[in-house]
Copies of this chain bind each other. A is one copy, B any other.
Amino acid sequence: MTNILIWNEFRHEKSNPAVQAVYPHGIHRALASGLTAAGLSTRTATLDEPEHGLGEDVLDQTDVLIWWGHRAHGEVDDAIVERVQQRVLDGMGLIVLHSGHFSKLFKRLMGTTCDLKWREMGERERIWVTAPNHPITAGLGEYFEIEHEEMYGEFFDIPAPDELVFVSWFQGGEVFRSGCCYRRGSGKIFYFRPGHETYPTYFHPDVLRVIANACRWAAPGGGVRPSFGHRPQPLERLEDHRP
């Protein structure tokens, strides 16, 4: 079974009544309920736990890590970020949600600023599939709608995705590359846009479906593990082979 670790900053929910009203037990709990119902094995971790809940032993038991952060990106310890980055390169899957675009972890893995345009006015988002037959789209229609969401607009400063799965339309006039697949080292990464803390996005059945599909897609694939470093012995003799 695929073991999912849901990481949440878990700050808005403790300080902002509007967020608390939507996610009384935290975004991580909402996600855990939805993904457990989809047949995945989930645990959670949050910023204020020791090692942010991301100890080596915890990561040893993790196939795919989900990441939600927003206002406290700067409080995530650099050593933990480096640890998690290395785990991803070693094969652990990673799903980065919404404002996680600005996390240290995602920026380090992308190498770019990951900046974008944004507006919080509760407008409608329509998310279109641009990669049919992709496993992350299983069970969806050709698009789905979120009635109220924060707007994220292009230009989104990311490397061109290895596969572009979703593009969003916003009522206010913008578009956004909302579902982006990456392969980095031995790991797979999926960025998925929706999920502002003041809207019940993580109860939306299609949003949960996408995240569950992405967890299955990002799980380690069982292929070759690369090795690196000095190779003192050539595989062919080095005498002159000129014709």
Cα(A156)–Cα(B167), bound, Å: 12
Copies of this protein in the complex: 4
Q: Which of B111, B133, B160, B230 makes the CB contact (< 8 A) with A224?
A: B133
Query: Which residues from chain B contact A140 at a C-beta distance below 8 Å?
Result: 223-224
Are A233 and B243 touching (Cβ within 8 A)? Answer: yes
Are B123 and A234 touching (Cβ within 8 A)? Answer: yes
Shortest CB–CB separation between residue A176 and chain B, in angstroms? 9
A50 at the interface (CB under 8 A from B): no
Shortest CB–CB separation between residue A234 and chain B, in angstroms? 3
Are A228 and B184 touching (Cβ within 8 A)? Answer: no
Interface string of A147-172 (1 = CB under 8 A from B): 00001011111011011100111111
A205 at the interface (CB under 8 A from B): no
A15 at the interface (CB under 8 A from B): no
Given contacts A128-B175, A130-B155, contact A237 B243 (CB under 8 A): yes
Given contacts A175-B167, A231-B151, contact A159 B130 (CB under 8 A): no
Are A112 and B184 touching (Cβ within 8 A)? Answer: yes
Given contacts A235-B126, A235-B243, A241-B236, contact A169 B173 (CB under 8 A): yes
Given contacts A160-B164, A222-B138, contact A121 B234 (CB under 8 A): yes
Within 8 A of B (CB), among A111-148: 111-113, 115-119, 121-123, 126, 128-138, 140-142
A34 at the interface (CB under 8 A from B): no
Which of the four size classes fits the interface of chain A? 35 or more
A39 at the interface (CB under 8 A from B): no
A1 at the interface (CB under 8 A from B): no
Cα(A231)–Cα(B174), bound, Å: 10
Query: Which residues from chain B contact A171 at a C-beta distance below 8 Å?
Result: 234, 236, 238, 241
Are A175 and B175 touching (Cβ within 8 A)? Answer: yes
Query: Which residues from chain B contact A173 at a C-beta distance below 8 Å?
Result: 126, 169, 234-236
Cα(A234)–Cα(B159), bound, Å: 26
Interface string of A206-243 (1 = CB under 8 A from B): 00000000000000111111111111111111110111
Jot down 21 A-B pairs with beta carbons below 8 A, ordered by A. A89-B113, A108-B111, A116-B228, A117-B229, A118-B230, A119-B230, A119-B231, A123-B234, A128-B153, A133-B224, A135-B223, A138-B222, A153-B231, A154-B167, A169-B175, A171-B234, A174-B235, A175-B175, A235-B243, A237-B242, A237-B243
